[in-house]
Structures are given as C-alpha cells and as structure tokens.
Chains A and B, each alone.
Chain A
Amino acid sequence: MKAPVISSWFGRGKVEAPPDIASATLRSDRFRLERESEWKRLEAILVRMEKGGLRGIADDDLIALPALYRTAASSLSVARETSLDAATLAYLEALVQRAWFQVYGPRAGFLRWFRDFLLGGWSRAVRELWLDMCIALFVMVAGTVVGWMLVAQDEAWFYRLFPASPGDARAPGATREQLLESLGHDEGAAGLAGFAAQLFSNNSGVCILAFALGFAFGIPSLMLLVHNMALLGVLLWLFAGQGLVVELAAWLSVHGTTELFGILLSGAAGLHIGRAMAFPGKQAVLDAAAAAGRRAAVVMVGVVIMMVVAALLEAFPRQLVTDTGSRYVIGGTMLAFWLAYFFLYRPAPRPGEGAAA
C-alpha cells in the first residue's frame, strides 16, 4: 500500500511534490497531471470560501475563481470522453459541484439581502400579493361581522369566543365606567417593555402560523383570520352596547392598524401559497408552490418587523397616551405610513435582483 491513512492525518500542512508528468505512461494521466495544480488551487480557494465567506481570500484568487471553475468544468467534460480513471472523474465531479455551489451560491449574505429588502424588495413582494390581500381583507371583515352577530344573537357565544380571565371587567353586563377604565392606562411605564417583548413573540408566532398553514391550500389560514377577527367583533359588540365604539376604536387603532395589517399580510401570504398549490396554472405544482413560497417568505420577514413595531406601540403609546384624539392620530399615521410604503414607494429594482423570485 502506498499511502497509509495515518500519514494523511499528520501530513496535512505538507505539500506533496507532484509526480513527474513524463513518468505517466497513459495519455489521460498526463492530461490529469498537467491540470492537477489548477484543480488543487481551486480546491484551496473553495475550502477557504466555505470556511469564512469572502473574507481572507486574496483578490487575485477571487478573480481567478470563475476561470478556475470553468477550467475544472471543461477538464471534467474532456476527462469523461477520454479517461477511464474513476477516481479522477469522481474527484472532478465533486470539485466542480463544490465550485458550482460557491460560484452560483446565494449572491448576497443576510445583511445585504436585508438592505435590499427594506429598500424596495418588501413593498414589491407585498404588491405581488394584492389579490390575496383583497381576499384576506374580505375574510377579516366577514369574521368581525360574524363575531358581532353571533354574540348579538346569543350572549353565551361571548364566553365561548373570549377566553375568560378572572378579574377582567370586559364581560357582558359591565358598566360604562368599567369599560372606559379598561381602555385607560395601566400603572405608568413600569413593566411595559417586558410586556412589549411578550406581545411580540406571541403575535409573530400567530402570524407565522397563519403563513405556514397556507400549505394546506390556505384554508386554515383563513380560518385563523376569521377566528381572530371574530374576537374583535365580540369586543366591538360589547363596547357598542355602552356607546363606546369611538373610544374602543381609538384604543385599538394605536397598535391595531399595524398589527391587523401584519395579520392581514401573513394570512394573505399563507393564502398565496395555498392558491398556487390549488391552481398552479401552467407550471408544475412544485414549481408554482416554490415560486409562491419565496414571494410569501419575503412578506413574512416584513410581518415580523411589523409585529415588533406593533408590540412597541401597544406597550408604550397605547398605555401612556389616553386621549382619544391623539390615539387616532398615532394609529392613522401608522396606517398611512404602511400604505404609502407598500403602494407608493416603488423604487426601480436593481439589475439582477428579483429575477429569482
């Protein structure tokens, strides 16, 4: 045996002298020995790229990478036609595949992608979902109406829909003063930041669920929307009984315009996938699902950001600002901001970007 395994453990740093090209008796082996150093160089660059991205790679190596990749690729196609050396073929196949992963790998790291996402990618993805957003909006309004009507017909529905928590004044039969008080502020700013963090994990969890459930043809997403909005309908009914709808809406609008918009988007994203799978059109089901999934994923990253904003609004301004008019101003401003960002902000896509979506 020529090369014991152990030597390869200890002799890592040593560079083995290449065998004399003329010593090879076969033409295909001479072909291999002539090009071997270029393959080895490509392999060394690949190892460094896989370890640490593009940092720590010399500029001329980086410039040489595409050329080395093509050299290896053409070596492989020549070797397939001329060489019967299985080991060399297997090595070249693995090498070209590894190089292919790097040369045609994700073009941008997460941070670069995130910048492009904020500067246009997000609003473009949202606009692509317009039909699903219309459906989701319709379903949400319908859910609110259903919630209202159910409770208006039979008060028992209130307890079924609204998870009963002891000490909560918000129940049928509550007086106007009790309800007004529940819309007021809590005890100062203490504890609000923690409250916000809790709200955020909770709400974004619900949104991700609404998105992911789209996989079952979107129906569970819609059911989740109906259920959530029915709660809103119940709350509206309760406060309307005491003539407090305007105050409730102000209280809700502070964070609700952001949060409900986020829920709308996640439901629409789920529906988008479901729709693509149910009606793939001319594409294969898998391709249609993949294209829709990637579009919807962009929207979902945005939804998580919206949930952060909503949680902050819910914890701070809503609890600290008690004036109905100011609450409307905050909520309205947020709604106007989101609408403008999604539908008026249309920067031209940069070249090469969005082609994969």
Chain B
Amino acid sequence: MSRRNIAAAHRDERRTRTLVTPEGLTLPITIAPRMARAGALIIDVMIIVFGLIAFQLAVYWIADGVLSGTRFDPEQMKGGALEFLGIVVALFVFCTWYGYFLVQELGPRGATLGKRIVGIRIAARGGARLTPEAVIARNLLRDIEIFYPLITLFILLVVARNEVPIGILGWVMTGWFLIFLLFPFFNRDALRAGDVVAGTWVVERPRTKLAKALSAQGAAAAQGASDVTGVRYAFGEAELSIYGEKELQTLERMLRDAQPEALAAVHETICRKIGWDPGAGDERAFLEAYYAQLRSRLETDLRFGKRKADKFA
C-alpha cells in the first residue's frame, strides 16, 4: 500500500454517504468527485455543440438544394420551404438543448452520455424516489448557473473590443459566474444550485463484478493441502489469534490480485509473526490456507457476536 493509495482511500471515505432503503437496509453511496462532473458536462456540451453544427450543415445543404432546384426561375423560389427549414432549426436547437439532458437523465441509467462515460449518475438525495419534476428543475437551473453568464460575458467581451465602455457589468457577470461555478465547493455533498433546488445529488455508479469464492479454490479448498508440495498447512489457536478482520481483508485483496513477489513478502511477514520458518516456492498455498483458516476462525467468533477489528484489538 503506497501513500497515494491511503490518501485515495481517505478521500473516498469523506465522499461516502449512507442511504437507507425502504427495507431498512443501509447502503454506502459515494458522492461523485467534482472533477468527474465537470468532465461529464464538458463531454455533454461537446456532443450537443457538434451535433448542432452537423445539423446546421445538413440544413444548409438542404437549403442549397432548394435554391438550386429553382435556378432557372428565381420567381419560383420556395420562400415557404426556406422558412420551414428556419423553424425546424430553431425548434431543433431548443429541443436538443433541454431534451438531451431531460430524456437521458429520466431514463433507467439516470445519466447523460457524458455522465455514463465518467461513471456517475444522478439520484434523489437521501434515498427518495427520483421524479421527473426533480430532473426538470435541476436542468432548467443549469442555464443561469453556467451558460447565461458565459454568453453574456462573451457578448460583453465583443462589445468591449469595439471600444464601448461596459462599466461594472462585466465584473457583475464574472462574479455571478464564479458564485455558481464554485457553489459545489462550499457544501459537503458537492451540490450545485440545480441540485439544491431539485433535491438531487450526483453519485458514483456502482459496478463491481462478483469475484471468485476464495475458499472454493487452491489450498483453501483442500483442507490446507498444497498442490505443489502436498504439504498440509494447519494453524493452531496461537497462530490464528494474531490477526483481525482488517488484516484478513488485506490478505484477501492480495490473494485476488497481487503479484507473486508481493505474495512472497506477505508470506515472509506472516511467517515471522507467527514464529514459523519462512520457506520458499509454496507461498500461495501457504497464504490460501492461512486465509481460509483465519477467516473460518474469525467468522465463527462473528457468529457468537465477537469481532476482532484488527491485530491491535
């Protein structure tokens, strides 16, 4: 475990909230990091903008066709057709802008494409049911949080370039933009203004695959017997009472995905701790057997209501 991993684990802990299902079961839920949300928004905006540009180009292409169809007689030019295209563009922009977020966040994934890519989704705060009203509210507010001040600032910049004094308005808009942009940094749950009004929050999407059952494989399944040497590892009361649940789960993580060199180091540490002579070549079988027997012991105690959190307990 490097220092970075420990720091990351600490950060994760600060982002973890507890959700109580209607059945009374507590579930841990992780608030999405602010950076992931910013990334998701950037992806979504880029998708919308590029989609709209592509749509505009298509419309221009059609308009071009409408015009060239009447090349020989300008009198026949279909004003109605061009006007229709204009309406289609205006409505398409409006529907895309609001529909993109609404329809996707109301779907079963509760996430836009950008959110899905970074692995987050929206949920109702505190375990309530997510409602269409909430999704609408949080998306309507996004306009004043980000896009309205940004567009105003952009216009002001253009105006200022033309040597027209814009006065204090520029600072006001910058302040507005910053207040909403920094809003998620001033509350624990990283809520933006839209989340506050809608009663939602953005959480990490859980996805964990079911790992193999460790006690059904290797030396753990064979009563502690090693495949390599045939030796049977059996640990006594004294050897198993050293470690607690925390060490057991660290060992489990190592057995699932650590490299052989790391396993050798762990093997040596455990052997020294329990007073065995560390050999070499059969580390995995030793660790599997130790894991199975330690877990068996700790779980038996657990059934009797005795927990040993770690080796210091």
Within 8 A of B (CB), among A197-241: 197-198, 200-201, 204, 208-209, 211-213, 215
Q: Mark B78-98, 1 if CB is under 8 A from A, else 0.
A: 011001101100110110000
Question: Is the CB–CB distance between A300 and B136 below 8 Å?
Answer: yes
Q: Of the candidates B21, B80, B106, B123, which one forms a contact with A73 in the assembled complex, judged by CB atoms under 8 Å apart?
A: B21
- 5 inter-chain pairs at a CB distance below 8 angstroms, sorted by A residue, are A24-B216, A105-B110, A190-B83, A194-B86, A290-B200
| Minimum CB distance partner of B82 in chain A | A194
Binds A, one of B48-56, B57-65, B138-146, B270-278: B138-146
Give the secondary structure class of A's interface: helix
Q: A197-B86, A212-B144, A290-B125 are in contact. Are A76 and B25 (CB under 8 A)?
A: yes
Question: Is the CB–CB distance between B210 and A97 below 8 Å?
Answer: no
Q: Of the candidates B21, B108, B199, B215, which one forms a contact with A53 in the assembled complex, judged by CB atoms under 8 Å apart?
A: B108
Chain B residues near A180: list those with CB within 8 A: none
A191 CA to B86 CA in the complex, in Å?
10
| Minimum CB distance partner of A356 in chain B | B131
A33 CA to B144 CA in the complex, in Å?
52
Chain A: interface residue count, which band?
A: 35 or more
Interface assignment of A87: CB less than 8 Å from any CB of chain B? yes
Chain B residues near A23: list those with CB within 8 A: 216, 221
Q: Mark B224-252, 1 if CB is under 8 A from A, else 0.
A: 00000000000000000000010011001
Q: Of the candidates A84, A273, A292, which one forms a contact with B248 in the assembled complex, judged by CB atoms under 8 Å apart?
A: A84
CB distance from B105 to the nearest CB of A (A): 9
| Minimum CB distance partner of A22 in chain B | B216
Interface assignment of B155: CB less than 8 Å from any CB of chain A? no
Question: Is the CB–CB distance between A293 and B25 below 8 Å?
Answer: no
Question: Is the CB–CB distance between B292 and A273 below 8 Å?
Answer: no
A87 CA to B211 CA in the complex, in Å?
6
Q: Of the candidates B133, B140, B206, B223, which one forms a contact with A211 in the assembled complex, judged by CB atoms under 8 Å apart?
A: B140
Chain A residues near B108: list those with CB within 8 A: 49-50, 53, 101-102, 105
| Minimum CB distance partner of A357 in chain B | B133
Question: Is the CB–CB distance between A85 and B131 below 8 Å?
Answer: no
List the interface of chain A (C-beta within 8 A of B). Answer: 1-3, 19-20, 23-29, 32-33, 36, 39-40, 43, 49-50, 53, 70, 73, 76-77, 81-88, 90-91, 93-98, 100-102, 104-110, 113, 190-191, 193-194, 196-198, 200-201, 204, 208-209, 211-213, 215, 273, 286-287, 289-298, 300-301, 356-357
Chain A residues near B211: list those with CB within 8 A: 87-88, 91
Binds A, one of B3-11, B34-42, B163-171, B297-305: B297-305
Q: Of the candidates A94, A196, A273, A287, which one forms a contact with B206 in the assembled complex, judged by CB atoms under 8 Å apart?
A: A94
A113 CA to B103 CA in the complex, in Å?
12
Max chain B C-beta neighbours (<10 A), residue from A26, A39, A209: A26
A209 CA to B176 CA in the complex, in Å?
14
A255 CA to B200 CA in the complex, in Å?
36
| Minimum CB distance partner of B109 in chain A | A50
Interface assignment of B154: CB less than 8 Å from any CB of chain A? no
Interface assignment of B15: CB less than 8 Å from any CB of chain A? no
Question: Is the CB–CB distance between B131 and A84 below 8 Å?
Answer: no
Question: Is the CB–CB distance between A289 and B197 below 8 Å?
Answer: yes
| Minimum CB distance partner of A117 in chain B | B132
Question: Is the CB–CB distance between B197 and A100 below 8 Å?
Answer: no
Interface assignment of B174: CB less than 8 Å from any CB of chain A? no
A53 CA to B106 CA in the complex, in Å?
11
